[in-house]
Structure formats: C-alpha cells, structure tokens
Structure 1
Amino acid sequence: MYKYLLLVCLSLLAFSSLHAQILQGKVVDKNGIPVQDAYILSNDVSQHTHTNELGAFKHDGFQPGDTLKISFIGFSTQSLVLESKDFSEPMVITLREAPINLDQVVISNQNNSLNQISQIDLRNNPVNSSQEILRKIPGLFIAQHAGGGKAEQIFLRGFDIDHGTDINISVDGMPVNMVSHAHGQGYSDLHFLIPETVERVDFSKGPYYADKGNFTTAGYIEFQTKERLGSSMASVEYGQFNSTRTVGMFDLLPAGSDHQAYIAGEYILTDGPFESSQHFNRINLMGKYTVNLPGNDKLSIQASHFDSKWDASGQIPQRAVDAGIITRFGAIDDTEGGFTSRSNIAINHTRNIDGNSFIKSNAFYSHYDFELFSNFTFFLEDPVNGDQIRQVEDRNIFGLQSVYHRQFEPGDMDIDLQAGLGLRYDQINDNQLARTANRKTTLEEIARGDINESNLYGFVNSEFEIGNFLINPGVRLDYLKFDYVDNLTTAYRTLSEGKAIVSPKLNFMYNPSPFWQIFLKSGMGFHSNDTRVVVARSGEQILPAAYGVDLGTVWKPLPRLWFNTALWYLYLQQEFVYVGDAGIVEPSGKTRRTGIDFGLRYQISDRFFLDSDINYTFARAIEEPEGANYIPLAPDLTAVGGIVYQSKGGFSGGLRYRYIKDRPANEDGSITAIGYFITDLNANYTWNKTTFSLIIDNLFDTEWNEAQFATESRLRNEDAPIEELHYTPGTPFFLRGKVSFRF
C-alpha cells in the first residue's frame, strides 16, 4: 500500500514539473504596499487566481499571449498582454487608485467572498467612531448604555451577544475579547481603535474557520490598520451637547521607501443629551512602523494607548417616565460611570520562505484597567443606600502565534495549506464585585479574586481548488487552563480546571463563473465560560460547543449589481453563565437558531450607490415549553442600508437607515423590547485639500430606546419590586460639523 502511495506522490510531482509555464508575481499599490485578494483573470475567464496576504500570486494556467485583467476594489482595472519574459522572473504589477466601481468586483473562488462587501462599504461610507465601524458588519446591531465609555452591546444572528460572548473580535491579530472579565464574558471594548486608521475589515458569520478560536460562534471580525497613510490629516468636529472630536494622523516617512511610519491621535469630549452631564472624555494614541525587508519579508511594530472616563445616567424604568418622576433623559441614579484604559504593543513579522510558502507570526502584550459603577435595580436590595455596584479589574494579556502558509499545485489541483500554533495568557489581578454608595463607600464585597487563564491552540486549514470547486477542510485544537484564587476566603487555595476541545470545519465553494459562487459551510466552534463558573461547577460545561451550517450564494447578475444570501442553522450546547453584575452562576439551556441573510449592493450610476442588508432569525431555547422558550432580546428581523452619492466636483453624501423589530425582552414574551427605525445623514464638500462635513444622527428626531432590558427593580418609595422594561434612551437629533485638512 505504501509503495502505491509513494508512486502516486512521485507521479503528481513529475506531472506538475511538466505542466505549463508558471506565472508568478506581486500586486502592489502606488506606495509598494501589497494588495491582498486582488483578482487576476484571463480575458476569456478560463483561468484565474488571486493574491495572498503578501500580495503574491502564482499560477500555471497562463500562457504567453494571454491578456490578463487585474482588479480590486478602489483601483482601476489593469490589462496586460503576457510575454515570454514575464515567465522568467516574478513580475510586479502596480495598481492605480480609482473611485469605487462595482465593475471592479470579481467573485473569486475563495472561502470568504463577502469580505469585498466591507471594502465597498468602508470606502463609500467612512466612519468617525469605533462604535460606527462595528456597524459595517452586515446584520450586526449595537447598543450603548453607559455614557459612551462601556463596550457596546452587540446583536448578531439572533444573539444578544452582550459585550462579545459569541463574536471573536481582533485588531491586527491582537484579541479584543476579554476572558473572565469583571463585567461579562468576552467583553470587547474596541474604543482603543481609531477608525480613520482602519484599512480593511475581515469578517464572516458562523463557526467555520479553523484559524478563529474562542468566541467564534455567531462569527468573527478582524480589523487591519493601515501600513501607510498616504498623506497626513488633521480634523476638528464640533456639535450639539458640547461634543468635540479631534483627530490627527501624521505620515512620518516619505513615500516610495521600504519604510513606513505614522502616528495617530484622537480626543473626544461630550456631555451627551442627558440631564446629568456625561462628562465623557477619551484619548487615543497610536504609532505604527512597517519595514519591507529583503526577500519579501516584512516587519511591523505598533503601540497604542487609550484612556476613557465618563458619568452615566444608566437604564431607567418605563414607569418612572410614565409617572413624570423623570424625563426620558433623566436618571434614578446619576452616579453611574467609570474609567478604563488599555495599552498595547504588537509585533507582526512575515518570513517569506520561497515563492510557495511563508510564515506569519505575531506577538502582543496589553495592559488593561477597568472600573465601572452601575445601578440596575435602584433600591431593590438596599432600600437605604441603593443598589450601586462596583466592578474592577487589572489585567495583563500576553500572546503569540505563528502560521505556516504553503501553496502547491499537484497536477490540475491548487492546494493552499495553513498550519498554526498559538498561546494566549491572561493574568487578572483583583477581579472585584462590590456593593457601593455614591462611588465612595464600599458597603459589601461580593466577589474578589485573582484569575489566570491560558489558551494553547493549534490548527490546520487546507483549501483544495479543483477547477471551479474549492474544498476547505480544517480542524482546530484548543486547550484552556483556568486558575482562580478567592481573596475573600481566609485560607489560600488555587482552584484549577482544564479542558480541551476539537473543532472540525468543512466548507465547499463552487464558482461556475467569476460572477457567481455557491457555498456550503459547516463547522463547530465554542466560547469558553468564565473561570469563576468553571471552578464553581467543577469543570462542568467549560467549553460549550456551537454547531453551524450555512448554505448560500454570492451573485453578480449585472456588472454593477451584487447579491448575497444564506440560509443558516446554529445549535448551542448547555452552558453556565457567570452574571458579573450579581456574582452568581445562572444555568442556560440548549438553544437553536435558524435564519436567512440577504444583501444587495447596486451602483445605480457612476455616482450613486445603493446598499441594503436584511436578516431574519428564529431563535428559541430547546428545553423550555412553548411560550416560555423565547431567548431574551434576540432580534428576529433587522435591516440596514442607504444611498451614497459621490461627485467629481468634490461633493459627497449619504442617507442611511437601520431598523430592528420589536422583540421579547424575557422568556415568555410578556415584556417587549421596542423596535425602532433611525435615519442618519452626512454631507461633505472637498475643496483642494480641505473637506467640510455636516453629520446628523437621527435626522427625524425619532424617540427610540437604545439598550433595553427586562429588569426587576424598586424605586425609593415603592413597597414592592416591579419587573418591566428598563432602557437607555437613544440619541435624539444630533448635529455636528467637521473640517478635515490633508497635507
């Protein structure tokens, strides 16, 4: 048997060496920065390939005399006729920037064609806050309910993800999710990211990718920051509610060299629309240096720091507004708020081995501080002092990862192999939950301890491209170790548990043409439970698994019309949840979600773009009786979209909407979280190097509830508690003006 296997392997190698001439090269922009996922297509569309993370491509199906088209979003499509000399050494193709045009979009035979949507949306609709950049993910909704300083509440695919429990978020390979966080598992504060520095957003829904681990159940989002700015920029924005935002980004090295460096800063002040001022302020600083080394190697070093401080009016009960005790923008306890900071340093290195393989490695360190004061129940537990709580932690995160990439072509098959190893270690000192009064006095310590959590992982991902078919099997192995020391007990003791999980993936793509793809994706993912849950339950359900399937298509029936749709299913195992606000463990049963996603991008003319994403989900708890099996706050119908205009004369603008339907706020649906339809407007005019902008959030001044919860609470003079809808009011009509100058 082994002799036959050896004979087959030798035959494949011999066949590949006798195959057609090999064309290889690199696609870059005008600054020499690699263009990832650029599409290289023969004129008769019989042969095609795309660039990898290094901007490199290699294909043996092209011949001298072929006419190639090279295209990517935001660049002019380039054509060239191949000559014999092009096959003697790697070629370099430089693309020129151009306005967004859907003619440039080719649906390539790769695992995540939907990423092109984010490139279109990012260029057509620039954002000016880290909150807004999350809205670039089709079907993702967010809600803010703590004065702007707390991480956003996230909704996706029928999940109330809280602050990140079921979505994996990263920036340049550095994780955003916080394991065993003082406020909630997977807590993802993205506010350290300056949105103007974002170059690319890689995203997908479902647990189908071997290189994505913990928290990848509903999906993942990976932000990549710019290597070079192209030009320096300074902007000032001022608006209602004493709101100010300033941004500066400064290119430090001349264009055309192998070295790129820039620094960026952001400062935000606002009082917010509330009667009690938010006194919100945030500062972000970032620096990044990238060097292209000999042999197509690359090294990038970046550092950043972010500080945020705020006051908050918190969630308010509907009955207090109805009774005239407070207005919609009033407060029962306006001493909520907090402070948080994060300092990061990250190193990314790419080592090019040969034309077929490279190793990509990254290492990072983050120091994170968090302090949050909240009061959700008012006087339910303590009728004298109130129910304010304080959550605190001081965290260090260490991590590293190396991924080996190799491409080879045995016969008519193209194979792309990835194999990676990595480690993440979280050291959390003095993770606390306490009852407090007026932010000054500690009344009772509920929980306080030290957490050490390690995640060692490895994965193998492969892509077999055979003609128009792509088969993508992969497998991931994670081992997590949980240690907890309870500092409220008199005796010292380390509680420890460990668990491993294997997550297989199998995806199929079929591209009958460069303008149509059909896909079937399947896989298993997981999110880890909080360390305090793990040790309290003696290791029971440490890593509840998620099983998912997607069947869908991406289609361009016309050169400027793009459709995508998917039918999907996701099942989650039994899990136990640590409620950071109460310091208790709550059981949560098996759940099932099914749904359909639909997206459209249409370029009406050279200047008008239309986009829309509609998502429907049916989400239920499996083990509960009918009528008591709703998943609280799980959205069933959401829609976002808009129209964008860009003129040659310097004017641009857009009108955008977002809609979420009414949904149950508790298990039996007796309390309803109210849906809303909000419209935003932006208009811009560029004269020479200066851009003047007008931004209006909530154009029609709609009264809406942003974050909403079914909560049992008691007001000071009430005899008994009442469970009803509590909410944070959404931003009213909010006008801002902005001036940006490039130099």
Structure 2
Amino acid sequence: MISSLLRMMACRWRVLRHVGVGGLLFVFSLPLSFAQSPATLRGTVADSLSGRPVAGVSVGLQGQPSATVTDALGTFKLSGLAAGAHTLQIGALGYRTSSVPVTLTAGANRLALTLTATTFNLAEVTVSQPRDPNQSLAAISNIDRVLRPVNSAQDLLQLVPGLFIAQHAGGGKAEQIFLRGFDCDHGTDFAVSIDGLPVNMVSHAHGQGYADFHFVIPETVEQLKVYKGPYSARFGDFATSGAGEFRTKTRLENSQVKLELGQFDTRRALVMLDLLGPDRHLLSKQSESAYVAAEYQFTNSYFDAKQHFKRFNGLAKYTGQLSDNSSLTLLGSHFNSNWDASGQIPERAVAEGAISRYGSIDPSEGGRTDRTNASAVLTTGLPHDAVLRQQVYYSNYHFDLFSNFTFFLERPNGGDGINQTETGRNIYGYTGTYDRDDQLGSHLLHSTLGVGTRIDDAGLALRHAVRRQVTDTITAGRLFEQNLHAYLDETLALTDRFTMNAAVRLDVFTFDFRGVLANEATANLEPLRGRLTRALASPKLNLYYQLSPAVQLFARSGFGFHSNDARGVIRGTNENVLPRALGYEAGSTFKPVPSLVVNAALWALHLQDELVYVGDDGNVENTGPTQRYGLDLALRYQLSRRLFLDTDLNYNYGRQTEAPAPANYIPLAPTFTTIGGLTYKQPNGLSASLRYRHIDSRPANDDGSIRARGYFLVDAVAAYTQPRFQVGATVENLFNVQWNQAQFATQSRLPTEPADGVDELHFTPGTPFYLKLNASVFF
C-alpha cells in the first residue's frame, strides 16, 4: 500500500513538472482508480436553542475509532464510509452527547444536527484523531479554551501548553517567548498567526521573528490550534519549536460593553457589536454575520516612573455564504500603542541603593507602534469533493523604539541609548490550499496542495540616541524580502486505526537590502547592499494509531528552519541563511478514566545554527549547532461536577554541541516549567480559578556563571455571569512575590564605574500584587 502511495505521488509530480502552476488544479482534479464509490457524509451542527453553529464538535460513527470535528462554521465531513445503517455520535464540551441513527448511501450524504447545552463535563471529550492529524493537542486546547481565563493578548499566548512569556519594555513591545527549551526571543522559533495573518516579522528592526500579538482583542478569539515541533508542512519560517494558530469569532453570540479598572491607574474599555442582529443567519437564505470590536487601554504600571501606556485596537469582520459552494470572509483591523519604559536594570544598582527595584537607569526608554491589517478569504467547494481556499492579505506597520541596555559602557558622555525604527513596513501575502479526499483502493487518502508568497517591504534604521534625540546612524536602508512556498501533504488511512501523514515543503527566499553601515574604524557610513536567493526543502513523516476510542498514539518527525536577518545575510556574517531544524517525538493522547485527559510526548530537536539578530549593533550572533531533548506532560482532570484541575509539566535539556563543557549551556533556555490551576464552575454562572506558573532558575550565559532567577506565582480570577451581564475580578501575583520577569546577562557601566563595566544579571521586575475589576453588559 505504501509503494502504491509513493507511485501515485511520483506520477503527480511528473505531471506537475510538465503542466506548470497553471495546471495544478487540473492535475489534482484527475480521478484515481478506485473500487466501488464509498459514502461521504457532510453536515452542520448547531445549538438547539439559539440555532448558532457550534465549532469543535466531535463527530464520528459508533464503533469506529476515527472521527472529525466541526469547523468555525459548524460544518463537518466524514469520508470513505461504508454504505448502510450506522449510529452517528456527536459531542462537545458544554453539550449533551447525542447518538443519531443514519442510513448512508454511496456518494454524498447531508445532515443537519443540533446539540443541547448542558453542564461542562470532561467525559464528553474524545481523543479521536482530529481533522488535522498533526494537531495532537486538539483535545487539550478545546478544554483550555473553556477553563483557562483570558484577560489580555499575553494570556492568549500562554494558552499554548508549556509556553512562557516575559515583558521588558512597559507592555508595548512583543513578549519574550520560552517554549521547549528555547528562548525564542520575540519569536525566532515560534510562529504565530491570527486568521491566517502572519504575526512574526522577518528582518525586524528589533529582532528576527518579532511577534507583536497586542493587535488582537482577546475577547474576539474563539479558537487556538497548537502545533509543537516542525512536523506540519503548513508552517515554514520560525516554526521550529512550534506554531500557534489563532482564529477570531465568526459571529458574536451577544453584543457587549465591558469596563475594567485596576491598580496603577489601569483603565480598559471594550465594545463588541453584532451588526446584523442575532437571528439574521436564521431569517436569510444565505448565512452571513458581521461585527465590529474596539478596545482602549491605559495604565501607568507599577514602576517608579509612570509608563503612560496607551493602546487602541479596532476590528471589523464579515462572513457570508455566497452560494451553496462558496463563502467569503473579510477582515480589517487597526492597532496603535505608545508608552514610556523603565527598561531592564542591573542587580548591583538595586543592591547598592542607587535605585529601587522598580526604578530606572535611563527613564527615556519607550516607543510607539501601529499595525493595520486587511484580509479576504474565499472558500470554494469544487467537484470531486474538493475544497479550494484562497486568502490575500495586507499589513501596514510602523515601529519606533528607544532602548538602553548597557547604559554608559560605549558612550560615557551621552549614554548608550539606541533608536530602532521601521518606517512603513508593507506586507503583501497570498496563500492558497487545495484539499481533496480520494479513495486509494479501500483506503481514504486526503491530499492538500498549498502555495503562497509573502513580500516584506520596509525602511529599517538603527541609530544612537540621547534622551530620545537621535544622533548618528549605525545602519539604515530599505528591505525587500520575499518568501515563495509550496507544499504537498498526503494523509493515508492505512487501516481504520492506523494513519500515515507524509509531506514535503519547499521555501524560496530572496533577501535584498539597500542601505548604509557605519564603519567603526573610520566613523564613516559605507554602502551595505546586496541580493541573495536561497531555497530549502523540508520533508515530514508522521504516524498515528488509534489504539482505542480513548487512546491515540503518535510518532512524528520533520525538518524545519528559521531564517536569518537580511542585514546579516548581506553582511555575510553567517553563510547559512536558512539553518535547518530536525525534530522528532513519540507520545500519546489518552483518557485513563472518563474524567481525565492526558497528553504526553518525548521529543528531540536539533538546530543546525542558532541565529539571533542583535538589534544593539545591527549584527547577527550565531551560537552554532544546538540539541534539545524533553518531556511534555499535560493533564486535564475533572475532580467533581464543578471542580477542574489542569497542569502542564515540561522538562527540557539543551546544549551547544560544538562548545566545550562547561561553557556549552544555551543561555536562558529553561529546564523545567509548569503552569496549571484549579477552576470552579457553577451552573448558576459563578466561576473562579486559582492559577500558578513556575519557571526554574537557569544559566543566563554560556558557562552558567550568571543565572536567571526562577519564580513561582499564583494568580486568581473570579466571575459571575448571567445572560445580560457579567462582573469579575482578577489578581495577578496574589502573594506579592518579588520576581524577575525578563532577565539577561549583560555587560554594562554605571557613571561612576570603571571603563570596562560589570558583567552581571540585568532584569525587569515582575508585576507585584495587581487587582483589577471588570463589568460587562450583554445585549
């Protein structure tokens, strides 16, 4: 059977070489040779009371281990079924499981189903293989979406099991990300997207892969898909430790106005309005929905110097069914933010009493940024049970940041302040996927062909600055960077329990930078110009076995990569501009008892070169090859009808492979992290959660002589929700622990110190006890 699959893929590839891109859809519309036509079941699942579509519903035939889940529009599809009488089982968190007798005929069958709401029960969760086989954390993510409280865009990122974040610039910069033994900086090794829009920025002024997620309004997000490791062909650049794919709501259940007040002059207002009315999709023949959302936030934060942090977010989204076979989604959003920042401080300044723990060496730090997005997605059903999804998107982005990491080390008179800017980055993108189910003998074959391109066009600059007054230029110029990609992903059901997923992805990058670079020896600006094209193929192979309806086993492997910064490419500071990552893992998602869901994985990840763009001097640092091994364990347990326990435990071991011991640590790579808590949910609308997070102490430099300090924090959330209103409270750092958020080993100099300065731990203090109250009205 495997040889048949390989011959079929080889045949398609030979035809593709002759017909070119224009013939892709024709080639994939060619039928394979099959046995008698099986049955296909398409359908929708809606809430029995409101009539609204329900996403994330498990749908499968009784007695068969494979199943699928409904998408954001409540639709599902089961293929390769035997004709005849069956029992269809459907279930979702918060809904009563239902068994529906169905009689299937050969060919297409359609069904409209409803579910009745009931109390939240983990017994309803299934671990059957989801529609996307590489999303093994689907069951965990569906539970977390209901149980884990979300109060900010930062909380959205922490819904990824095992992911930690740290902020070190007044709330306005992208967070520092930690996952699977990676200090991903601001996104070098973790890919983030929202509604198909890439969040990570290539060749960013502050750091490669910079992923500022603050333009997302947390109340609008309804779905998260988590992919750990480089195993999915859908993701390319930066998806080495994993990827997080977020989706905003297709429609609102209610319009909402929300107000939030907190310590440190914190204020937040949110408005979400359903533009077409709650029953529009029921009254019109063609289903459609539209809503707008906006938020404004202000805080002075807890530092000695007021932060004057302001943020505005606006979103508009329309989803419409153009015909029985096509739908259109339009999205537009705008975000802007500005702030002052205290920056990271040296431990010695606090110990000597020069500043308080919440003080600052250079209070002139801070910045502003904005981003405007537009996206259109057209989904079309084609003959032969195929689906074509096409998306075009555009982003306009600005960034202006003032920082000072070393204080007076390089420039004793005015200080080492720098200004990093992006003047009008434009991002143009297209992605297209063609999905089709075929019957290979008696086996179901799901094929996905994906193509796309992304173009970044931006003005970048790095300059010296003194108290936000720009002085001389370090480097400046115009960036043009393009990524073309294509992938073929084949999932073959070898038996009703055993599934193989094989894929290959091709990426082609063009790096182009035209600008200047300061010559330290002559203090003159010299040309920095060049253009380079490189390509990389990334194969994947993943195996899944449904041992029983309660146990799924998986073994995954794949190559990935993270790209180099274009300025580093043109300067030639590292010849390997697309260093490979090789990952592999084995694990299981299972339910030892009906009320307990467990996901466990043993994994390894090898990086050919670990590259980090150092924004302070416009250069790229390469620590050489690294290897990481680890164990991930996620548990979701229902202790009683109203009490739930969740915890993620993550152990990571990583080393630089070509560095001599003991100077072979990977700086800031965590060894052990854990997140979890207890959640109480009453049917009358009362809910409360006690949350904890812990990260261990870890080396901050190569030899471990400087260590970043670990911490253990407890947060609390409580809410009372009724159909027309909600009131709630959150407390961050319930026990008022002193902890360090972002931490770095840095050589710096204070005004009274010797010229060579001091190499020690620098940190941004974490949030002290922080109380916020909120109230919402639904209408």
Q: 1:27 aligns with which of 45, 70, 74?
A: 45
What's the counterpart of residue 266 of structure 2?
243
1:600-611 equivalences under 5 Å are 600-611=635-646
User: Could you say if the C-alpha distance between residues 598 and 490 of structure 1 is closer, same or farther in structure 2, counting changes exceeding 3 Å?
Assistant: closer
Task: Note the alpha carbon deviations across 1:549-600, whole angstroms, 9 max, x for none.
Answer: 0111111111110111110000001255431122233332100000000110
Return the match for 1:124 from 147, 154, 173. Answer: 147
CA distance in 1, matches of 2:104, 2:670: 58
1:291 pairs with 2:320: yes
* Gap change, CA 1:98 and 1:342, over 3 Å in 2: farther
Tell me which amino acid in the other structure corresponds to 1:445: T
- The yes-or-no answer on 1:160 pairing with 2:168 is no
Aligned to 1:615: 650
Choose which of 234, 241, 246 in structure 2 pairs with 1:211: 234
Greater shift in the superposed pair: 369-378 or 81-90: 81-90
| 1:462 partner amino acid | E
| Compared CA separation, residues 160 and 576, structure 1 to 2 (3 A) | closer
Match in the other structure for 1:723: 759
Partner SS state of residue 169, structure 2:
coil
Q: Distance in 1 between matches of 2:135 and 2:611?
A: 32
The 3-state SS of whatever aligns with 1:370 is: strand
Aligned to 2:515: 486
Match of residue 453 from structure 2: 423
Report the counterpart of residue 397 of structure 2 in structure 1.
368
Equivalence for 2:630: 595
Query: Per the alignment, do residues 98 and 290 of structure 1 end up closer, same or farther by CA in structure 2, a change over 3 Å counting?
Result: farther
One-letter code aligned to 1:674: R
The one of 223, 234, 237 aligned to 2:246: 223
Shift of 1:85: 8.3
Other-structure match for 2:772: 736
Letter in 1 for 2:194: V
2:579 paired residue number: 544
| Structure 1 pair 670–243 and aligned structure 2 pair: CA distance change class (3 A) | same
| Structure 1 segment 255-266 matched on structure 2, within 5 A | 255-257=279-281, 258-266=287-295
- Give the Cα–Cα distance (whole angstroms) in 2 for the partners of residues 531 and 508 of structure 1: 36
- Structure 1 match to 2:79: 59
Helix, strand or coil at the partner of 2:751: coil
- In 2, the alpha carbon distance for the partners of 1:158 and 1:88 equals 47
Amino acid at match of 1:457: H
Question: Distance in 2 between the 1:47 and 1:708 partners?
Answer: 46
TM alignment of 1:614-653, pairs within 5 A: 614-653=649-688
Percent identity of equivalent pairs: 46
Counterpart Cα distance in 1 of 2:72 and 2:778: 29
Partner of 1:453: 481
Q: For residues 309 and 589 of structure 2, what CA distance do their matches in structure 1 show?
A: 43
Write the distance in 2 (CA, Å) between the matches of 1:391 and 1:22.
Answer: 55
Give the structure 2 partner of residue 668 of structure 1: 703
CA 1:643–1:84: 2 relative to 1, 3 Å: same
Deviates more, 1:185-194 or 1:550-559: 550-559
1:641 and 1:290 map into 2 onto residues whose CA distance is 35
Which of 535, 550, 560 aligns to 2:570? It is 535
What is the distance in 1 between the residues matched to 2:651 and 2:294? 39
Note the C-alpha offset of 1:623: 0.5
Gaps of 5+ in 1: none
Alignment-mate amino acid for residue 712 of structure 2: F
| 1:425-574 → structure 2 map (5 Å cutoff) | 425-429=455-459, 431-440=460-469, 442-465=470-493, 466-487=495-516, 494-537=529-572, 540-574=575-609
Distance 1:617 1:704, change over 3 A: same
Task: For residue 349 of structure 1, report the CA deviation from its aligned partner.
Answer: 1.1
Instruction: Name the SS of the counterpart of 1:532 in structure 2.
Output: helix
Q: Distance in 2 between matches of 1:229 and 1:397?
A: 29
How far, CA to CA, are the matches of 2:234 and 2:706 in structure 1?
40
- Give the deviation of 1:215 after TM superposition: 0.5
Rate the CA distance shift 1:84–1:344 in 2: closer, same or farther, 3 A.
closer
- Which of 51, 59, 76 aligns to 1:40? It is 59
| Displacement after TM superposition at 1:26 (Å) | 3.4
Q: Distance in 1 between matches of 2:525 and 2:401?
A: 27
Question: 297, 300, 306: which is aligned to 1:277?
Answer: 306
**1:655-681 deviation digits (Å, cap 9, x = unpaired):** 000000100000000001000000000
Alignment partner of 1:401 is 2:431? yes
> Does the CA contact (< 8 Å) of 1:111 and 1:509 recur in 2?
no
Q: Secondary structure at the match of 2:324?
A: helix
Contact 1:519 1:552 survives alignment (8 Å): yes
Match of 1:683 in 2: 718
CA shift, 1:119, in A, is: 1.9
CA distance in 2, matches of 1:511, 1:315: 49
Q: Give the Cα–Cα distance (whole angstroms) in 2 for the partners of residues 308 and 614 of structure 1.
A: 35
* Alignment gaps of 5+ in structure 2: 12-29, 282-286, 518-523
Deviation at 1:78, TM superposition (A): 2.0
Deviation at 1:227, TM superposition (A): 0.7
Distance 1:263 1:98, change over 3 A: farther
Matched, 1:90 2:119: no
Distance 1:687 1:71 in 2: 24
What is the SS of the residue equivalent to 2:243? strand
CA separation of 1:355 and 1:39: change in aligned 2, threshold 3 A: farther
Distance of aligned partners of 1:73 and 1:333 in 2 relative to their CA distance in 1, 3 Å threshold: same
SS of residue in 1 equivalent to 2:655 = strand
DSSP-derived class of the 1:496 partner: strand
Q: Give, in angstroms, the shift of residue 63 of structure 1.
A: 5.3
Equivalent residues of 1:23, 1:86 under 8 A apart = no
Task: Name the amino acid aligned to 1:365.
Answer: Y
Q: How many residue pairs end up in the alignment?
A: 735
Q: CA deviation at 1:46?
A: 6.1
Q: CA deviation at 1:520?
A: 0.4
How far apart, in 2, do the equivalents of 1:490 and 1:715 lie? 29
1:371–1:295 Cα change, 3 Å: same
1:256 deviation in Å? Answer: 4.4
Give the alignment's Cα RMSD to 1 decimal: 2.3
Matched residue type, 1:26: T
Question: Does residue 181 of the first structure (1) align with residue 216 of the second (2)?
Answer: no
Contact kept? 2:65, 2:546, Cα under 8 Å: no
Cα distance, 1:24 vs structure 2: 3.6
- Give the Å deviation of 1:416: 0.9
Give the Cα–Cα distance (whole angstroms) in 2 for the partners of residues 421 and 14 of structure 1: 28
Mapped contact 1:389–1:433 kept (Cα < 8 A): yes
Correspondence 1:115-154 to 2 at 5 A: 115-154=138-177
Q: Tell me the CA shift for residue 41 of structure 1.
A: 2.9
The normalised TM-score by structure 2 is 0.91
Aligned to 1:714: 749
